[in-house]
Structure 1
Amino acid sequence: MAVSVNRQLFIATIFTKYVLLFFEKKTPGDDNERSRGKGNALTLKCCFQDVSAFSDDSFDVKDWINKTFKSAEAQENKDAFVASLVMKLQLYVQQINGALEETSQSVLSGLPRVLRDTQLLQQEASKLREKMVAVKEEIAKVEKDTGSSIATLERIDRIKTDLQTAKQGLHEADNWTVLANDVEEVFESGDIEKIAVKLFSMQKSLSMLANVLDFEDKKLQLEGLKNRLEAMASPHLVQAFTAANLEKSKVYVNIFDKMERLPQLLKYYHNCLKVSLGQEWRRTIELAQDETVAYWLHTFYDKLLSAWHTQVTWCNQVFPNTSSNTLIDVYADLLRSLDPSVSVCIETALKQHSNAMQLSLLLELKQITKHFAVNLNNAIESCSQEKTYNHELLPLAQAIYAPYVPYVTKYSMYESAQLGQQLNSLDCIHDDLSETINALALSISRVIDYANEANKRCKLFTDGCGYPGLLKALNAYFTQYLDKYRVGVKQLERRKAKQEDWNLFQMCLTLMQSIGELLVQIEQFEKTLVIDTIEANNKLQSSNASVFTHYKKLLLNSQGRTELANLITSLQQEDKTILDSIVKAIHKLCSDLHHTTYEVIFAPIFAQLLLVQKAPAWSSDVNKMTNFGTDQPDYSFAPQEYITQVGQYLMTLPQHLEPFLLRDNPSLTQALRAADPQYAQGSSESGFTDILLGIVAKGTCQMFQDQTLGICELNSSSCKQLATDIDYLGNVLEELGLSLSEQLQQMSVLLRLTPEEYQTGSAGCSARVVAAVRQMRNITSSG
């Protein structure tokens, strides 16, 4: 039974596959037939759901059967499921047969009609082609027959046009002659409007006489008449503009516009307004002679702003579309030609102030001017109907700020004067050294505050353009301030003594701490200054800002712009600070003070080590007793007083240093690191104590060595005594966590060698030390 079912399924599948392929192709026929085919396919799919699988090119009968029999229905009753499936396939085949038969009949019945329609289309296309050829031939014939006629018509039309032009020219020539004869009578009447009407008519006639021989003469004649009318109208025109008579002004604008002389009329308006506002400036000064130039500027700028709003409204009614640009030109010209000029007024006012107060006056005036510039810019933007471009506003902005260009150029001079006065107000130098040191420490915050105020003044007065000048002033200011510290260091040096003076040592460290604090503050101020300089330059570089903020063009000359560009380039490219010279000067000051501090600490040691060569152990009287103490053991020798004094002093150093170096003292740390590179290796304040002790120990060893090498002669006992002194110093240094210098260690060994052992025992020692000890001991060289 399974074989029979498979055979039936296979036959049904093959047939169904080809039937589906047939229905998927488009068959000839009308839309109803295709719709009917689709309907049949849909019917088949409804009868048997999995129709699409039969049309697949890779259809596999076994796979399809296996997949079908995996359903739950097939598992329940396989025989019933097979019977049902075979019956559906048979029904499916019958439906396909019927649909195929119907479609075949439809196609066969439609073929004759398709052939008939095709023949009709071919006939119509042939007829259309024949008609198009006939039309083309007809057009060519018409063009050939009528070409000469059309050329004749065109020539006749040109003749007609020329005749009309000649007629009009004769009419206008006659009209010109009449008008030229009557114009003198009209001029004698003095009626400007009637004269204008005559001239307009003559101008119209002249435009039609462009080809006549005496056109240029007529043109010159008309221009002369226009000049006469302009001269006659100018007093009335000036009066109308001065009185702001709207109706009369409109009349004259109309006349000049028709005469093509509107630019000349705008010049009259320009001069009238300029003169009026110029008189307002002189009136302001005359009525307030006892007031300051700041009051004059403030008052005059308010009048200019008020006049701007009034004139914009008036101009929009008289000659629209040109009001803003006209007023911009007037204001720019006015501010450049004020009498007396703003520059003269400022210069006169500056002479009445001290050098230190001149910058304050300039700053006040500059702020008044800047406020006016901002308000005027806002007024221009609000009143202008069209966008006003920066290149149109630049002359006005330059005229506003022009008086301040010379003072911005000399900004460093004015800033130096004010900073110098502020610095002189600080009373830092006193006869008493401790008061000087305290005053210097207290002055640091005020000195930095003055520098920050100078930075703010630079922003306000130069709008960031004057930073090169500010740096010059600050360098001079800080240099002058450091001179006060140099005076303090000199006072310390004068107080130095050969005896122990811990009070002076504490003053040295206190002053060192103050210098360190100054260095920290200046480095922090310098960072702020760099940031402000770069930010100010970025604002100056902004291309979207108003022309009234293009301060590089408004406040700097070419040299100033070059200096600012060089400064910005150095900040961006070079690895250096803008107060580099000041920082280096502070480092030098720290180094000098550190040297003075060292000398104060070392003074007692220095005084004791000067006694080395005069010690009794190797005096001339003792050396004569050559056999004295020769056989004494080493422990019978005690260190001499000079070296014990040095040792005791060294042991007291830590307790004097720790109050300064063991506490958290970043200012002193900064100063010590600036003074000596050795302190840069210390990671904490306790490390700085060891470093300073190490420096003192190194100096002690070096001087002790130099002094001992100056001894002329040593006997055996003296050698042991000197070796004992050296060993004592080594023990003291060891207690402090330090060590004796290598050459002193070698000298101690060489002093204890017998003359017989000296040659071999000195191997590996410094040649200088070996030779010096040999000479002191009178040991002959075997080499």
Structure 2
Amino acid sequence: MAVSKDDQLKDLLSSDRFSVAAYLNLALNDEDDQQQRMAELALQLQMQTQSCHEEIGKIGAELQAILPRCSADIGRVGVGLEGLRIDAASLLENTAIDTSEGVSSSLETLGILHALEANLQRSKEILTAAATWDTTLSSIAPLLAQQNISEAVNALAQLENGERALRGMPNPEEREEAIAKVRQQVSTMLQPQLKHALANMNTRLAPLQQCVTLYSKLNKMDALKDEYIKNRPSGLHKSWFDFKMVYDEQDTDKAASEFMAWLPAWYENVLSLMSEERRQSTTIFGTAMVPGILVKVLWECFRPLLSSFQSRLENIYSSDPARPNKGSFDSICTLYESTLQFLSLVYESVANCWIDITESGTVPEDDGLKLYRDLSHIFIQVLAPFSAYQKNLPNLEAHYMAGHTEPVAKQIQQAVMTVSSSDFESLQHATYNLQNMAHFIFPLAEGSLGRFELLNAGYGPTKALSTIDHVLGNHADELSMAVKSLSAAMAAGEKQLVSSFDDSHVLCTLGVLKVAGTFRRNVKVLEKKTFDRLRLLRERIETHGSRERGIEDTAGSSSSKKAFTLPDSLSLVEIDSIVTKAVCGENEGLTTAATALQRLIDAEDNAGRLFVEAEEATQRLMKSCQLFIHDVCSSIPRQYIAEMSSMSSWREGSESATDTSYGILPQPYINHIGEHLLTLVQALEPFTSDREALSLANDAMLDVRDIALEPWREFVLGTGYSVESSTSFWSPGSNVIREIMEGTCFTGLTLGGAPIDDDADAGTDEQTSDEAAKTAFCDSWLDVVGLSVTGRLLDRIVHIPSLSSKGCDHLSADLNYLVNVFSALGIAGHPHPLLGHISVVAAMDATELSEQIQARDRSDAVGGFLYVLEMHVAKLRGIL
């Protein structure tokens, strides 16, 4: 018996094998008009749905009636007699089974009907979409022709809903192609409207809001936001490119100063735009999108300008050290710092916006972690034009400081070129200029440290400090060479200097000590400041590293949005740390940078130096200044001593005309020497009246006695004593020449004369600290000059060709006079024991001297030297 199609459709609806495709294929497989058939099916499905609803309602009513009665029966049985408990339980079990079977059957029927309803609803959607597809599609073209974009968008949305309903149906490509075509047409029609709305959004927001609604329906909000963001800072872009930098090779600072004055005003305009954007974005896009929009607008403000920004910086001061630069590197640093300040204000504006939104209960589209990372990335990009300066900083610093130091080096050389020993004013002018130029380098060095802190923030400290160290050392060497030139000028005209010598020469030459003292003191101050800066930079790097690790841990957490707290502000230092880590830390991690800084900091605790080259050059400068003063102060004794070994008086016979009834008198040369030493005290004292000058000079008095070593070395060699072969006899590590010069080793071993007076300063206990400092300074120079004169005199004595008996008397008288002079001066360590010893040895008769030499204990180093000295004097006398 044939089954009708309606029965087949009913059977399929209640079948487990039901599918929408099978149902439609069965319903439409005849040759009737499909549109008519579709309408009939829709009507039948509607009727069937109504029937299902009625059946479901009926079953539900029955269930509501059955379940309460069952519950009541169970309750009555449960409160029966205890004696009938087993029977009641059995009855309850039977009743429950019967009830369960009834309920189960009803629920199964309800489930089938619910599935049927869902299938019918789905079928209705599909049939409705299929029935209206062509009508909706054909209605869009007239709407677009009429510029009715709003209705066209609604129709497109209806088409897209239909396409989703018909997925799985035949010919999906045709539907997708049709929707894509319509979408393209609508988007094309929307573009002019959007551009018009964007162009006039400063006066009217309604058209733009309408575009937002339409683009939202089209799921094209990203495209609209991109167009909006590109258009937003157009005025700022125009302002940037309208500003023209005028470059003048003769006045390179003009362009820099104009740009430095203009840029902060442009940054103010950006901040104003960001403030306005917060209000406008809230109106257009809604509160949740505002922080993300602000970040994108900020980036769009700079994106097209970065290459122009870098070009302007390069025209102010090139980042290539090989290129000649006439501009100011400080201008670049000023612009960098100005940009950091601007970015700090921008961050605060965006962060406060995000915090205000979250506190109001709204959930922003971008979470705090994403916002922080996006802003950090933008900061790095905005400051990218400065990256070449940051990477090349040591070389740029060397080039920049060389441009400042080379002209000064020429000035230093010119300051001493015209000095003459006969022209006291030229000497005075030269020393004054050197004092002024000694300060010059330190502000430049501090500026270099500041640029290192700003641009590199502690990365690569060794190279940066090495550059500064080298420049300091070069400047000290320039000063040292200038002082040596002064010494050479004085030596070239020593005869004129001796003839015109007075106290003013001493006072003037002592002024160069202030050059060395100033330089040495400033190096120490600079080192102290540098150590402090290095500690701050290490703390900055460690703090930034801790923050970065916290962010990484938060990003790896499953609850990162809740765990991360967006900072409400970032300081210039914090933003600089972000940027310098990205630029300078790519080859040097945070740990490596902190370790390098700590290694330099540890040098202070270990009495190390940061500026080793500068320290060595400072020592050379001090030594040059000390030698210059020594050469001037000892010029008169040096001239008289120079020719004394060839004087004829050493070979005089016993009937010499120089004999007097008073005995042998000191010769003129030794009188001049003694008088000079005695008057030198008065020449030194005026300088000590200036406390500041004295303080600076004392800073340059380190190891001042060493400048007297050279004549003593010549004296020891002149005696025939071999220092190299006798070193093993002296104390390990001792300097033989120094020990002989200091004279303390001869205590109790020499003849004649008082021992070295180590208590010469005993009377200074009653002096004030200022008076003691003045006395100590004068005594130091009297000591040095005295040692030098003594050593040079002894050297000339051992070079006398021969000594007659009368010559020995002259020598003894001369030395005794000098011993008396030193005793009168009252300087610790003077007179030297060898002066009295040689005086006695020269006066001894031949037999006594021979016995003295034979009795000399040569088992120790000092005795061995005295033996050689006594043998040498004996040979001069012709005794051996």
Q: TM-score when scaled to structure 2?
A: 0.62
Q: Does 1:739 align with 2:739?
A: no
Instruction: Give me the whole-angstrom Cα distance separating, in 2, the residues matched to 1:429 and 1:134.
Output: 131
Contact 1:750 1:762 (8 Å CA) reproduced: no
Match in the other structure for 1:402: 384
1:671 aligned residue (688, 700, 709): 700
Match in the other structure for 1:305: 271
User: In the superposition, relative to structure 1, how do residues 383 and 677 fare at CA in structure 2: closer, same or farther (>3 Å)?
Assistant: farther
The DSSP-based 3-state class of the residue aligned with 1:550 is: helix
Match in the other structure for 2:570: 546
User: Which stretch of the first structure deviates more once superposed, 476-485 or 208-217?
Assistant: 208-217
Instruction: Give me the whole-angstrom Cα distance separating, in 2, the residues matched to 1:134 and 1:433.
Output: 137
Match in the other structure for 1:656: 683
User: In the superposition, relative to structure 1, how do residues 674 and 333 fare at CA in structure 2: closer, same or farther (>3 Å)?
Assistant: farther
1:272 aligned residue (231, 255, 275): 231
Match in the other structure for 2:857: 763
Q: Does 1:616 align with 2:569?
A: no
1:602 aligned residue (612, 615, 634): 634
Instruction: Give me the whole-angstrom Cα distance separating, in 2, the residues matched to 1:635 and 1:748.
Output: 19
User: In the superposition, relative to structure 1, how do residues 136 and 733 fare at CA in structure 2: closer, same or farther (>3 Å)?
Assistant: farther
User: In the superposition, relative to structure 1, how do residues 128 and 267 fare at CA in structure 2: closer, same or farther (>3 Å)?
Assistant: farther
Q: Give the deviation of 1:546 after TM superposition.
A: 1.2
Instruction: Give me the whole-angstrom Cα distance separating, in 2, the residues matched to 1:469 and 1:656.
Output: 45
Match in the other structure for 1:58: none
Instruction: Give me the whole-angstrom Cα distance separating, in 2, the residues matched to 1:130 and 1:526.
Output: 106
Instruction: Give me the whole-angstrom Cα distance separating, in 2, the residues matched to 1:516 and 1:638.
Output: 44
2:427 aligned residue (433, 436, 441): 433
Contact 1:187 1:195 (8 Å CA) reproduced: yes
1:386 aligned residue (357, 365, 368): 357
User: In the superposition, relative to structure 1, how do residues 227 and 421 fare at CA in structure 2: closer, same or farther (>3 Å)?
Assistant: farther
Q: Give the deviation of 1:329 after TM superposition.
A: 1.2
Match in the other structure for 2:521: 520
| AA aligned opposite 2:350 | I
| AA aligned opposite 1:775 | K
Deviations 1:138-189 (A, max 9, x none): 8877776666666655654543343233222322222332343234313312
Q: Give the deviation of 1:206 after TM superposition.
A: 4.8
| AA aligned opposite 1:494 | A
Q: Does 1:772 align with 2:872?
A: yes
Match in the other structure for 1:506: 507
The DSSP-based 3-state class of the residue aligned with 2:305 is: coil
1:199 aligned residue (156, 173, 193): 156
Q: Does 1:248 align with 2:207?
A: yes
Instruction: Give me the whole-angstrom Cα distance separating, in 2, the residues matched to 1:133 and 1:713.
Output: 153
User: In the superposition, relative to structure 1, how do residues 145 and 771 fare at CA in structure 2: closer, same or farther (>3 Å)?
Assistant: farther
2:598 aligned residue (555, 561, 569): 569
Deviations 1:457-496 (A, max 9, x none): 8888889999986984686378447625632441243123
Q: Give the deviation of 1:602 after TM superposition.
A: 2.4
| AA aligned opposite 1:655 | Q
Contact 2:684 2:778 (8 Å CA) reproduced: yes
Instruction: Give me the whole-angstrom Cα distance separating, in 2, the residues matched to 1:725 and 1:559.
Output: 72
Q: Give the deviation of 1:686 after TM superposition.
A: 1.7
Match in the other structure for 2:25: none
Q: TM-score when scaled to structure 1?
A: 0.68
User: In the superposition, relative to structure 1, how do residues 461 and 713 fare at CA in structure 2: closer, same or farther (>3 Å)?
Assistant: closer
Match in the other structure for 1:585: 617
Match in the other structure for 2:281: 315
| AA aligned opposite 2:846 | T
Match in the other structure for 1:494: 489
Deviations 1:644-694 (A, max 9, x none): 333333233222223334764211111213756899x99833223323222
| AA aligned opposite 1:345 | R
Instruction: Give runs of aligned pairs for residues 663-702 of structure 1, distance below 5 A.
Output: 664=691, 665-673=694-702, 684-702=773-791
The DSSP-based 3-state class of the residue aligned with 2:506 is: helix
Q: Does 1:169 align with 2:122?
A: yes
Match in the other structure for 2:305: 338
| AA aligned opposite 1:708 | I
Q: Give the deviation of 1:413 after TM superposition.
A: 5.9
Contact 2:483 2:625 (8 Å CA) reproduced: no
Q: Give the deviation of 1:337 after TM superposition.
A: 1.4
Deviations 1:268-304 (A, max 9, x none): 32333355653454456699xx995456645544443
Match in the other structure for 2:140: 187
Instruction: Give me the whole-angstrom Cα distance separating, in 2, the residues matched to 1:129 and 1:708.
Output: 146
Contact 1:715 1:777 (8 Å CA) reproduced: yes
User: In the superposition, relative to structure 1, how do residues 586 and 355 fare at CA in structure 2: closer, same or farther (>3 Å)?
Assistant: same
Deviations 1:739-770 (A, max 9, x none): 34444554444442533524444335323214
Q: Give the deviation of 1:589 after TM superposition.
A: 0.6
Structure showing greater relative contact order (alpha-carbon pairs closer than 8 Å, 6 or more residues apart): 2
Q: Give the deviation of 1:533 after TM superposition.
A: 5.9
User: In the superposition, relative to structure 1, how do residues 720 and 155 fare at CA in structure 2: closer, same or farther (>3 Å)?
Assistant: farther
The DSSP-based 3-state class of the residue aligned with 2:357 is: coil
User: In the superposition, relative to structure 1, how do residues 589 and 299 fare at CA in structure 2: closer, same or farther (>3 Å)?
Assistant: closer
Deviations 1:2-61 (A, max 9, x none): xxxxxxxxxxxxxxxxxxxxxxxxxxxxxxxxxxxxxxxxxxxxxxxxxxxxxxxxxxxx
Match in the other structure for 1:483: 478
| AA aligned opposite 1:403 | P
RMSD between superposed Cα atoms in Å: 4.8
User: Which stretch of the first structure deviates more once superposed, 150-159 or 263-272?
Assistant: 150-159
Q: Give the deviation of 1:518 after TM superposition.
A: 4.0
Q: Give the deviation of 1:250 after TM superposition.
A: 2.6
Instruction: Give me the whole-angstrom Cα distance separating, in 1, the residues matched to 2:81 and 2:375.
Output: 72
Instruction: Give me the whole-angstrom Cα distance separating, in 1, the residues matched to 2:82 and 2:832.
Output: 124
Contact 2:458 2:537 (8 Å CA) reproduced: yes
Count of matched residue positions in the alignment of Structure 1 and Structure 2: 643
| AA aligned opposite 1:265 | L
Instruction: Give runs of aligned pairs for residues 37-436 of structure 1, distance below 5 A.
Output: 155-189=108-142, 190=144, 191-207=148-164, 222=179, 225-244=182-201, 245-273=204-232, 277-279=236-238, 281-282=240-241, 292-294=258-260, 297-298=263-264, 300-320=266-286, 321-338=288-305, 341-348=308-315, 355=325, 357-359=327-329, 361-362=331-332, 365-366=335-336, 369-370=339-340, 372-381=342-351, 383-384=353-354, 385-386=356-357, 389-408=371-390, 409-410=392-393, 412=397, 416=401, 419-420=404-405, 429=415, 431=418, 432-436=426-430
Contact 2:538 2:594 (8 Å CA) reproduced: no
| AA aligned opposite 1:693 | L
Q: Give the deviation of 1:698 after TM superposition.
A: 2.4
Q: Give the deviation of 1:328 after TM superposition.
A: 1.6
Match in the other structure for 1:57: none
User: Which stretch of the first structure deviates more once superposed, 246-255 or 144-153?
Assistant: 144-153
The DSSP-based 3-state class of the residue aligned with 1:322 is: helix
Instruction: Give me the whole-angstrom Cα distance separating, in 2, the residues matched to 1:426 and 1:140.
Output: 119
Larger radius of gyration: 1
| AA aligned opposite 2:196 | Q
Deviations 1:307-365 (A, max 9, x none): 333333222122111123123213213302138722223434559x9955434654664
User: In the superposition, relative to structure 1, how do residues 135 and 274 fare at CA in structure 2: closer, same or farther (>3 Å)?
Assistant: farther
The DSSP-based 3-state class of the residue aligned with 1:546 is: coil
Q: Give the deviation of 1:438 after TM superposition.
A: 2.0
